[in-house]
Structure 1
């Protein structure tokens, strides 16, 4: 999850409404799996809590129940002040879930409907990593960032990472990412379509960005035609997002549903 600055905004906000010239074509997509988070807890056959780990984005992940809630058909992931610093010395802790080792997504269209609370230092993310992660260490297997938001921003970042973009530092041929406007105080639907020759991003069914496979003699330009697992997490702090203002905590990420579609042949 190494970042770069993107100056362009793919969607415009006119009179408080988003406009776009390219939209999702709904016909032909068949819903093959969804999770609407009904019940009292999330489905552990699909999801696991993300453990704390050394990368910057995972340094405050916790399995503490105060970071997780399923309520009113939403999975709620929280960033909170640590209630017990004798058991865990971290000042604040965060909740996140992933489908690692449990559910893979290869091709098709993945959608997540979520509402993101703002806070200084908040860094919620929805993203994909290779299902066979041990076989493809980062960034060899690619990373697809469906959505990342910083602080109180009214935009999100949508980005891909690979050996080509990271180790070779080729980030503009083709451009590796873009930004898109959101309704910052409401639910938005973040989506990606994965094809053998491109990765296409959407916000609220508006096409925002496409990363194509190109002809090149450079290494690792398009590693994205493989199974991935999904991560959804309420991250806090880091060099990119900046310091956390603890007065802004708690902060929450509400996930209404996750849907996965595959293309029906002949449609």
Structure 2
């Protein structure tokens, strides 16, 4: 077991409640980021690098894709301002907690406002903290929120060997869509239990994905630590082509909160 994993688990399990006013019935707030400073906290967050998966092919560390504004983290999809070093026409910003902060069980909430754009694909999601041990999708993936283009709905989904390789999508149902306010902030949340993953939007329950009895492989790999990704993705087979005349586009993150059940 890697030292980074042990430190991440020990760190978040040792935290105390940040504010009783922000607690929920039966839950204890153990960590939050309000994005109030002039720069994001590099002890928790790193910029997502560009790499081969479709969603990450336009990720950039260009400062033009990142801003701290009015108590919000702002992640942007923009036309590339300098193509002499980076030849891509457009670039995007995203942060993750990989190798820095793990979330094991509990409830994650993210309050975000998503601008629309043809080809916009903002996402808030979870991947295994010990990712190097698991070839996707063996460790599971939890998509707390994905939005396409100018949609007034968001997608919430789980991925695993059971859903992806075996193609079992409805036993149990692996995803849903739910209404959002497309012009304002919404709160996207997931609760992670040893026997289920439960989704919410604006505190309204949208889907429960349970562990079931089955002889099929990899139905519920979700009882493990995860890291959080928040990214302003652009383009791809699912969302379609980007209309560059719609750029720039932003996702504004007001806060991220992590709760654990009161004992």
Inter-partner Cα distance in structure 2 for 1:137 and 1:250 = 34
Inter-partner Cα distance in structure 1 for 2:74 and 2:25 = 31
Please name the residue that 2:190 is paired with: 192
Inter-partner Cα distance in structure 2 for 1:176 and 1:50 = 26
When normalised by structure 2's length, the TM-score is 0.91
Deviations 1:119-177 (A, max 9, x none): 00000000000000001121000000000000000000000000000011111111110
**Structure 1 spans left out of the alignment, 5+ residues:** 1-24
Alignment of 1:35-54 (within 5 A): 35-54=33-52
**Structure 2 spans left out of the alignment, 5+ residues:** 1-22
Inter-partner Cα distance in structure 2 for 1:137 and 1:186 = 37
Please name the residue that 1:102 is paired with: 100
Please name the residue that 1:3 is paired with: none
Q: How many residues in Structure 1 have an aligned counterpart in Structure 2?
A: 241
Q: Secondary structure at the match of 1:53?
A: coil
Deviation at 1:26, TM superposition (A): 3.2
Q: Is the aligned partner of 1:30 residue 2:25?
A: no
Question: Could you list the runs of 4 or more consecutive aligned residues of structure 1 that deviate by over 2 angstroms after TM superposition?
Answer: none
Please name the residue that 2:151 is paired with: 153
Please name the residue that 2:164 is paired with: 166
Please name the residue that 2:64 is paired with: 66
When normalised by structure 1's length, the TM-score is 0.90
Inter-partner Cα distance in structure 2 for 1:139 and 1:32 = 29
Alignment of 1:237-252 (within 5 A): 237-252=235-250
Inter-partner Cα distance in structure 2 for 1:134 and 1:170 = 25
The structure where helix makes up a greater share of residues is 2
Please name the residue that 1:77 is paired with: 75
Q: Secondary structure at the match of 1:134?
A: helix
Which of 126, 130, 133 aligns to 1:132? It is: 130
